[in-house]
Amino acid sequence: MGKLKSFFKSIQLKFIIIYILLLLIAIQVIGAYFARQLETQLLENFTESVNERVELLSYNLEQALTEERDDDSPSIEADVRSIIYDFDSDDITGIQVIDNNSRVLGTTSQFDRENIGNRTTELRIQRALSAGNREENIVYNPQNGHRTLIISTPIENGDEIVGALSLEASMEGVYTQLNDINRIFANGTALAITVSALLGILVARTITRPITEMRGQAKVMATGDYSKKVNVYGEDEIGQLAVSFNELNDQLQLAQATTEGERRKLSSVLSNMTDGVIATDEHGDIILMNEPASKLIGKNYIEVQSEPLLDVLGLNSHVNNLEEIKEIGSTIIDFSDDDQELLLKANFSAIQDEADEMNGFLTVISDVTEEERVERERREFVANVSHELRTPLTTMRSYLEALTDDSTWKDETITPKFLNVVQNESERMIRLVNDLLQLSKMDNKDYLLEKERVEYVKYIDQIVDRFSFNIKDGLSLTRNLPKDHCYVWMDSDKLTQVLDNIISNAIKYSPEGGEINVTVKKERHHILTQVSDEGVGIPTENLEKVFDRFYRVDKARTRQLGGTGLGLAIAKELIEAHDGKIWADSREGKGTTISFSLPLMRKKRGRSS
């Protein structure tokens, strides 16, 4: 079954089919032309024979119709009947004679004998009698498939029409001869095709045998085996092809060995690289990618194979074509998503062939997320510290320069005010430096929490009492505390610093007549503390940034109120050091709530610091 299936797919069958088709087309063209010409000739001969009989019959009928008769002479109908029956034959199936008065004088058809003596109304007869038209028509009978030649002609005596003749002749004899000839031609064609098929098989096997051997050798070569050779059967084109095939085999064996060695070297280099490598063809479509590159871009090689490099790296918005990539040299690509920040540095270099034409690109990508983050924080830190120190220093320098003036120095009203400003700015710088030192210690883990068992509700109540005595006029400070005793393992001084920062911010940003509420809720394993105000609130997009260092929503107002932008950053560090969490909720124009949770002490928990 497999061999039969292979035969139907082989070039040998195609040779045989082509050979037979060429012969069949030639025979069919010749046969069609021969049958057409034969049909035309037979029809012409048949028509010419019938017309000769019609002419002779018309002449005899004209003599009978114009002959003078006496009482002893036979009737004209008898003469007509005698004449038409003499002309009756196998191919002439019907003859009808009509006088110039459209009266039927005689007919050979048994079915029309009852019409003898009656007038006929057939149009072709009327046209022959009135206009002298001679008509020839071939009528096809769909019931039996027969064709009949019908001739209608006037019978003339000089210029006078004395009658009309209608003759019907069957053409089936002609078409029977054509069918017999076509049958003989078809049998000859079948015999010729059979002989041609046998000869085609022999010729095709002679041609395809060496090709089949080369195909088999090609399959062997595809597996990497170049040890075999194909046989050379002659010096013709196929023999020369076999020689060339053997030479190609040798060259491929050498090239394969060289390529395999280079491939192993390249594979070893790519596998042991920590950076990702992506190679493209001259059109910028990816043809190679190592495992580190797959991990960095989050796609395996199967997904990106033959895909444009610009689409995979998301560079379509930055560059339009590969030439621009070549000019860029390197760039930072942001692969960050909602869950993780990822920055990749891509270095591009063109791959050139022997003619110095570019035939691809090599892209080396590496993860620079941490480096970029550190560099960004360093720049922001330097900029923020410089800005925060420059403002009080500039103010102090201005006031000190004014105090150096004799007139200002001696003015007892202005001098104390100037010195008070200088003192406030100095204290502000001291607070900033102290906050920076504390954050630096936290970053270096260079601090120790002195934790102890504290009854949290009583502790919060004392903190709120302290702020209640010093709150500015127009503000109210309320508390909502549970009645249960809640114990927390914590550093009271550090947590006091956290609450001081949070409550102080709420007081600073609360409008006149506003209310500040401190709420404590006991949960299953944690205790939740919330400080809410009715201030201007914080935009939603800025909520996650309020705990960043030096971040302030309204920088001008914060600086005016004496803030450093480090209070919430310190609070976050201290809460997380207590194994807690801190977050902010706010609506613009409705106020802000700073919440933090701390773990409650278990009943059998031992003391530790």
* pLDDT for 555: 47
* Residues paired with residue 280 on neighbouring β-strands, in sequence order: 286, 361
* pLDDT for 598: 93
The Cα 418–Cα 97 span in angstroms is 151
Q: Is 219 inside a domain boundary?
A: no
Asked if 466 and 584 sit in the same domain, the reply is: yes
Pairing label, strands 487-490, 452-455: antiparallel
Helix (H, G, I), strand (E, B) or coil at 461: helix
* pLDDT for 129: 81
Asked if 94 and 61 sit in the same domain, the reply is: yes
Q: Is 201 inside a domain boundary?
A: no
Q: Is 1 inside a domain boundary?
A: no
> Which of residues 608 and 294 earns the better pLDDT score?
294
pLDDT digits (tens, 9 = 90+) for 59-92: 887 777 777 766 666 677 777 777 777 776 777 8
Using the 3D structure, point to which of 178, 213, 236 is the last residue of a domain: 178
Query: Residue 168: which domain range?
Result: 12-178
Asked if 94 and 35 sit in the same domain, the reply is: yes
Asked if 491 and 547 sit in the same domain, the reply is: yes
pLDDT tops 50 at residue 602: yes
Task: Tell me the two tokens of residue 412.
Answer: 């007892």
Domain CATH number, residue 417 = 1.10.287.130
Q: Cα-flanking dihedrals φ and ψ of residue 520, to 5°?
A: -125, 130
Asked if 428 and 471 sit in the same domain, the reply is: no
pLDDT tops 70 at residue 537: yes
pLDDT tops 70 at residue 310: yes
pTM of the full predicted structure? Answer: 0.40
pLDDT tops 70 at residue 557: no
The beta strand positions in 481-578, using DSSP E, are 487-490, 515-522, 526-532
Q: Is 327 inside a domain boundary?
A: yes
Asked if 385 and 363 sit in the same domain, the reply is: no
Task: Tell me the two tokens of residue 512.
Answer: 């006149």
Q: Is 255 inside a domain boundary?
A: no
Asked if 154 and 40 sit in the same domain, the reply is: yes
Q: What is the Cα gyration radius of the chain?
A: 58
Mean pLDDT, the chain, whole residue set = 77
Helix (H, G, I), strand (E, B) or coil at 138: strand
133 and 149 Cβ atoms separated by less than 8 Å = no
The Cα 518–Cα 55 span in angstroms is 136
pLDDT digits (tens, 9 = 90+) for 411-443: 666 777 767 766 766 766 676 666 666 666 666
pLDDT tops 80 at residue 596: yes
Asked if 22 and 159 sit in the same domain, the reply is: yes
The Cα 39–Cα 177 span in angstroms is 9
Using the 3D structure, point to which of 396, 422, 443 is the last residue of a domain: 443
Asked if 497 and 530 sit in the same domain, the reply is: yes
The beta strand positions in 330-404, using DSSP E, are 330-334, 343-352, 358-367
* pLDDT for 520: 92
Asked if 41 and 162 sit in the same domain, the reply is: yes
Confidence of residue 556 (pLDDT cuts 50, 70, 90): very low
Using the 3D structure, point to which of 150, 178, 206 is the last residue of a domain: 178
Q: Is 540 inside a domain boundary?
A: yes
Distances (CA, A) of 125 to 78, 95, 355: 21, 13, 93
Q: Is 108 inside a domain boundary?
A: yes
Domain CATH number, residue 326 = 3.30.450.20
Asked if 295 and 147 sit in the same domain, the reply is: no
Confidence of residue 344 (pLDDT cuts 50, 70, 90): confident
Distances (CA, A) of 47 to 150, 154, 179: 10, 18, 19
* pLDDT for 441: 62
Q: Per the structure, how many domains does the chain have?
A: 4
Q: Is 516 inside a domain boundary?
A: yes
Asked if 420 and 509 sit in the same domain, the reply is: no
